[in-house]
Each structure stands twice: as structure tokens, then as C-alpha cells.
Structure 1
Amino acid sequence: MNSQQLNLLEYTGANRHIPLILTPRPHVTPTPVAPETTPPLPRREGDAWTVLVLESNYRLTGAMLFCLSRQKGIRVHLLSRDAASPYRFSHYIHDWHYLAPEKSDAELLAYTRQVAQTTKADVFLPIDVAGMRFAIAYQQVLATFVRLLPLPEAEAYEIATDKSRLGGFMQQHRIPAPDTILNVRHNLETQLKHFRFPVLLKPVDGIGGGGIELFQDRPTLLQAVARLPEGSNYIIQNCIEGYDIDCNVLYRNGKLVAYSIQKGILPAASAYAPTEAIEFVRNEAVLAVAHQVMKALRWNGVAHLDLRYDARTRQVKVIEINTRFWLTVVGSAVRAQVNFPVLACRAALGQNLPPASFALGRYIPFANFVRYKLWGRSTNKVPFTLRDTTALSMLGDPLPKLYRFLKSL
């Protein structure tokens, strides 16, 4: 990208960044204090309100901004740690606020307060794991100047986020899950003695199926474990013959207030990666198992549960939990008619939420839709239409995509 192209794009988005002054206080961790006051609510549920979103990666941030844009009356401000964020130019945000990534959590907290007060923000909305951890750690201070979406207790959050700890928790609470070996470096041969193959070796911190390997026999698995990097954290689970089916939830004060259930309907691009398209379906067994684990965790907030139907035992089993917003949150908003980011904001504002329900339908990201139409199999083709896609988001907010494309040249 040349300087003229960048200058042109900077001009089109010049009103997106008003820098705020911060006096740095490095290495200072503020002591949480009880709120002196509670930020005022909008007068009525129909009133406009302002949401301060803590930016995440490109795809997840785009999904969240699209969902928020579908609700009239929401004014979005984006708090970013990326100086080159494409969302400086987003049509979906009112303003963009930047704090350098090397600044401490204490400085982020101070800056969040400054931005929230300047913009008169009603809700602070973290969207990924790092953002959720920040909000959970500082929620008492944050609550003195802005409202927060429902958040779980810190210990419950860490259990749900860590595949190894979650596996042990589910064993303890007898929640249906794959057979799991939590400590692969301790007496593994004995642990495998009655373990059913094939098995999956999974990194505890893996995302989107990355790093997962399939093993058909014990010797090959033992060799692979012996080669694992020192300090790495893995678990072993038996490979379940069946199909993936996921559940998206929002809990408030231990009560399920919104959910949708989705099943993959196209093969993934690679082994263990997310499916290329989903269909929203009814399944009471999935909802029952999801509620069982969420109740045991005393969950509060959003989560995306990866589950799998075990054809051998005829059970739905919990594989892992994404303790953040998820990419297919767009599908829930577009096709299932459950807009989780908006509902999380409404929960933060203490508004009444409609009874939990969702519509049926298919969803496919627009890029996947184009590939499938051009190169998909001709037999038994799933009849997707533009209504099943995010084409509207491509047309409604083109500048971040254009900037990202030009930046890559």
C-alpha cells in the first residue's frame, strides 16, 4: 500500500479518532473498591444507549460490530489496542479510541474510565477471553462508572476456559464428556491400559481445532507425548464417533435467558476446524446437558459450548466451552433471530428480556457461500440463498475490508 492510498483512507475515516490524554501510572494495581454510585440507566427500554466495545481480533470484532449495528439506537465506541486497526474506518462505530498495547491493565482501567465518562457510555462490552478476564478482575471498579454484561465468578471462568480443568470438573460432577486423561506426563502407560482408541491429543490452549492430532494405537501416541515441548499442556480424549452440535447461551443470575443450538452441515476446511456452514435446530438433550454444566459452574454471562453426539452411547457430551463471544454469533443474529451482543447489553442495563427461544434456519459466511456456489459438489448440494449469509455486512461496512486488503498489497 502506498502513502497516497493510506492518506486517502485516513481522510475518509478522519473523524474516527479523538485522542484522549492519559497520565501513565506503570506497575500500579488499583485496589478494588465498592461502587459509590451506580451509572444511571436510560430512562426507558426504547431509549438510545452507548456501548463501549473492547476490540479483539479482526474477525470477532467485525462479527460483534455487525450484530450491534442491527439494533437501532445503539451508538458504538471502540476501545482499541491496535494502532493499525481497520475498524478506525468502520461505518458501524461512532468513534475509535486507542491505548498502546504495552500499557498495563491499571492504565487500561484508567483509560476505560476516561473514555466511558467522555462518551457517556452506558455499557462496557468485552468480547474475547482477554477482555472477559480484564472485566472480571476489575468489575468492582468498572461498575462505578459503567454497566457490565453478566460475568461469571473468576474461578468458574478459569475452570471453563482451561480444557484440562474443565475435564476434571466434568468428571467430578458426572457431566457427560469424552473420557479424558488430564495429566499426560504422569504414568501414561497405566492410564491408557483401559482407554478406548482412537484418541485425540489436544493442546489445552488450542483454538479452532489447531494442534489436535489423532492416534490409532498406544505406541504411536506414547512417542508423540514424549516429543511434546517442555512446559506445554495437553490432554488426551477418546475420539467420539458421531457429529458435532453446539449450544450458545446467555445466563443472567443463574437463569438461562437466551440460547440457540447449531449443527454443522458442511465439512470443515481441515480436520477438527469449525464447520463451513451451520443449521439451527431444536434438541432438548443438548439443552439439558448444556444447562447441567452451566448450572454446576454457576454461570453468568455468554458462552459457546462445543458438544458432540456419541453414536455408540447415544449421549450428548460436552467437548469444551468457549468462554467468550463466538464467530457464528452473526448466524444467531441473522437466522436464529437471537442477537447475543445486544441481549448482553440489555442484560447489563437491567432490561426485561424476552423468553428464551430461537428461529430455525441455515447460516453460511458470505465468503464460504461464494466458494460453495462456485466449487461445491453438484450432487446433494445444500440450497443456500443470500438470506443465509452475511452479504449485508459486506455491503454495509466496506472500508475496514478495503483498508485491510490494501494494507496487504
Structure 2
Amino acid sequence: MKFSILIPDGEVPLLPSVINCLSQVKDIKIYVISNKKRYPMRYSRHIHHYAYYPETNVELEWIDNINEELKKHDIDLVMPIFENGIKIIAKYKNQVSFKDKLCLLPSFDNFKLANDKGSLLYFLDNHHLPHPKGIVAKVGEIPKVESLQYPVLVKPVSGLGGGTGIYSFDNQSSLEDYFIKNRLECDTIVQERIEGYDIDCSVLCKDGVILAHTIQKATLKDGNPFAPTTGLIFVEEEELYLTIERLMKLLNWSGVAHVDLLFDKKDEKFKILEVNTRFWTSIDASLIAGVNFPYLYILASLGIDFNKPNYKYLEYLNIKGLLKTLQLNIKFLFETRFILNNTPVKFAVKDPIPFILKYVIFSKNMLVSKLKKS
């Protein structure tokens, strides 16, 4: 079957990975709306039509842009890929000209619940789902954490991402000093920092039922210990899966989600950290392992049944992870089979212009930054 889809939030960094996945299916025609006029992905050979609209902070104007593209083109499905786009469409789905062309979405209330780390913390407490102990500090409040054991982590309840805004404290005085010196603009979670390893679960759901999933364990991290992993291995963990299955059922989740967890070595339990209510940075890794989440998302949204896919328990490195590995061991360059099959390199080879432009722009920005500092 032939499908046409519209990605309305095409300026987000996840776009290349989603396009890599969709490019594996010949009969998908991809339309993109973006507020970036000269975004490298504009020149992707896999994108049929790229529409630029100036950035707007008015949510209904953004919906109008979607309606305009739906009028112009024979599009089967609208598929937002990042939090803000999913949130706005879930909120204003009745304002979309063709509601039957929207992908599977969670309810707006359940999206807000899962996306806000403070609300999620209360939800996990109430339903006795495993998670690190924590409290929510309101804006302007200096938290007292007698009920928690140090060290603790501090992180905003929403926004940011990628490990930004997460800090660790070993005692009450350093924690109080942080809150006194920083004027925080949103509520903050103070949570016990537990020893263990990072692991996460990616899902596609419909009405709380998991249609596809992968579980991946971190093997290589960037310099920031709270940043996304740069290397991982796919695994299967029944206890973890059953926890996520219950979480998705309680949220009555529809669409995609990526749940970050930590294995607590002391309690020997997998504990939920947060729910990313969107596609994830390692989505092309899931593809390489055998699960094409964007394509399955399209099928599920169009009401087309498919068997739940299995995935391979393979290792994966993203570009940062590959470069870091090469820095540590230049001989890894001769591991050509791994590099071509277990990294995003093969996608760059098939669609080189966006990849080249991205790193030309990155190098130019780095040079300008160095010149300004000097």
C-alpha cells in the first residue's frame, strides 16, 4: 500500500532519525512542515515536499499551517514526532480540518500527566509503581528532604531534556545553596540518587496495549552522566516489561513513548525515572534491531493489523559513540561490518547531503565560537 504522511514539527533534531526509518519503506511519501528555512534535512532525498512556515508561538496558527498543507496535498496521516507538536495536536485535535487523518494520540490530560515529572511522580506513588523516592519543590520553595537519603538529584519537572538542568547534591547545605542562588522558573523534583545502570523501554501503544517494544541498556555515555546514551545493547527483561505494560495500561496510552529507568543495585529492581512522550534519539537503533517504530505507528494509526515484532539483541553506537570509540581505539575503524550495520553511517551514505551540511554548519559554528572567545 502507498501512504503519504505529514510531519508538522520538522525542525526538531529527531527528524533525521525518523526519516531514516521511514526511508526503509518504498511506498511512503513524506511531507514536512518546518520553521527552519535552511535546515539540512530540507535537502534529504527521502522528503517529497518541505514546507517552510515562520516560527509562531500561537498554537492555533501552527494548527492553521497544518490545515493549509492538508488542503494542498493528498495526505493520509499527520504524525507529530516531538513533545510540543504532540501536545498541541492532542489539545486542539478538533481544530484540525481532517481529524480522521491524525495519528494515534494520548488524551491531552494523560499526555500532560506523563510529560510532567512532578505529576508522574505522584502517579507512580499512587499506583505503587517502582521509582526512586522523591518530592516536588514548588517555585520559590527551598525543599526540606528529611524523608530522603543523600545523595539526591534535582531536576525540572518539564522542559529542557538531554540531561540539562539535572544536578547532584551530597548534603542539605549544598542543596539549599543551589535553590537560594538560582531563580528557578518551574517546579523541581528532588529525588534520591540510586546506584545502578541506565536502561529504557520504547513502546508503541493503542488504548494502553503495547503493540511493539524494545528494551535497551546503556553501554557508553557522553561526558554528562545524565545525557542520552551514545552506545547501547538491546536486551529482554521480563520484570521491566511487565512494569511498563502496567504503566501504559494505567495511562491508557496511545502513540509512542520512551520510558527511562534505572536498575537499582541495592533493591534489585527496575525503577521508572521519566516518560518521554515522543520519539527518541535511538529510534534508528530500534530500526537496526528489527523494529521500525515510525512505520508501525503509521500502520496502527490507519487501523492496519500487524504481528508484534521481535528484535535482535545487538549492540549499537550513534555517531558520537562511534567517534568516541575511535578516539579510544583507532583500530576500530577496521570493524567495517559493525560500522555499516550497527551505526547510523549507512543512513548517511544513502542520504549524504543533509549529513554533510549538518557537520559543515556545526564546524562553522564551532569556528565562529572560538574566534569570538579569542
What is the TM-score when the length of structure 2 is the normalising length? 0.89
Shift of 1:304: 0.2
The gaps in structure 2 that reach 5 residues or longer are 365-374
Aligned-partner residue type, residue 148 of structure 2: F
Residue 372 of structure 2 corresponds to which residue in structure 1?
Answer: none
User: Which stretch shifts more, 309-318 or 225-234?
Assistant: 225-234
Q: 1:267 aligns with which of 214, 221, 230?
A: 221
Q: Provide the C-alpha distance between the structure 2 equivalents of 1:364 and 1:165, rounded to a whole number of angstroms.
A: 33
Shift of 1:405: 4.1
Give runs of aligned pairs for residues 223-242 of structure 1, distance below 5 A.
Answer: 223-242=177-196
Give runs of aligned pairs for residues 293-372 of structure 1, distance below 5 A.
Answer: 293-334=247-288, 336-372=289-325
User: Are residue 110 (structure 1) and residue 64 (structure 2) matched?
Assistant: yes
Q: Provide the C-alpha distance between the structure 2 equivalents of 1:183 and 1:310, rounded to a whole number of angstroms.
A: 24
Shift of 1:242: 0.8
In structure 2, relative to structure 1, the CA distance for the partners of 1:365 and 1:337 (3 Å cut) is same
Check the 8 A contact 2:210/2:248 in 1, yes or no.
Answer: no
- CA deviations 1:93-113 (Å, max 9, x no partner) are 011112111373333323322
Aligned-partner residue type, residue 219 of structure 2: I
Q: 2:143 aligns with which of 163, 179, 188?
A: 188
- CA deviations 1:305-355 (Å, max 9, x no partner) are 000111111111100010011110110011x21111111111111100212
Shift of 1:141: 3.8
Computed over aligned residues only, the root mean square deviation of the Cα atoms, in angstroms, reads 2.2
User: Are residue 399 (structure 1) and residue 357 (structure 2) matched?
Assistant: no
Residue 31 of structure 1 corresponds to which residue in structure 2?
Answer: none
Check the 8 A contact 1:245/1:309 in 2, yes or no.
Answer: yes
The gaps in structure 1 that reach 5 residues or longer are 1-46
What is the TM-score when the length of structure 1 is the normalising length? 0.82
Residue 198 of structure 1 corresponds to which residue in structure 2?
Answer: 151
Partner secondary structure for residue 95 of structure 1: strand
Check the 8 A contact 1:269/1:276 in 2, yes or no.
Answer: no
Check the 8 A contact 1:82/1:98 in 2, yes or no.
Answer: yes
Partner secondary structure for residue 176 of structure 1: coil
Residue 44 of structure 1 corresponds to which residue in structure 2?
Answer: none
User: Are residue 280 (structure 1) and residue 234 (structure 2) matched?
Assistant: yes
Q: Provide the C-alpha distance between the structure 1 equivalents of 2:210 and 2:133, rounded to a whole number of angstroms.
A: 28
- CA deviations 1:209-267 (Å, max 9, x no partner) are 11211111122112222223053321100001111110000111221100000000123
Partner secondary structure for residue 182 of structure 1: strand
Q: Provide the C-alpha distance between the structure 1 equivalents of 2:276 and 2:305, rounded to a whole number of angstroms.
A: 26
In terms of Rg, which structure is larger?
Answer: 1
User: Are residue 130 (structure 1) and residue 84 (structure 2) matched?
Assistant: yes
Shift of 1:90: 1.0
Shift of 1:62: 0.6
Q: Provide the C-alpha distance between the structure 2 equivalents of 1:159 and 1:278, rounded to a whole number of angstroms.
A: 28
Give runs of aligned pairs for residues 26-175 of structure 1, distance below 5 A.
Answer: 47-57=1-11, 59-102=13-56, 104-142=58-96, 144=98, 147-175=101-129
Check the 8 A contact 2:67/2:97 in 1, yes or no.
Answer: no
- CA deviations 1:19-54 (Å, max 9, x no partner) are xxxxxxxxxxxxxxxxxxxxxxxxxxxx11111112
Q: Provide the C-alpha distance between the structure 1 equivalents of 2:175 and 2:57, rounded to a whole number of angstroms.
A: 42
Partner secondary structure for residue 148 of structure 2: coil
Residue 212 of structure 1 corresponds to which residue in structure 2?
Answer: 166
Partner secondary structure for residue 258 of structure 2: strand
- CA deviations 1:27-84 (Å, max 9, x no partner) are xxxxxxxxxxxxxxxxxxxx11111112344531111111110112101011112122
Q: How many residues align?
A: 358
Q: Provide the C-alpha distance between the structure 2 equivalents of 1:233 and 1:362, rounded to a whole number of angstroms.
A: 37
Partner secondary structure for residue 50 of structure 1: strand
Shift of 1:376: 4.3
Shift of 1:188: 3.0
Shift of 1:148: 2.0
Shift of 1:140: 2.9
- CA deviations 1:137-185 (Å, max 9, x no partner) are 2223437265222111111101111111111111111111110111266
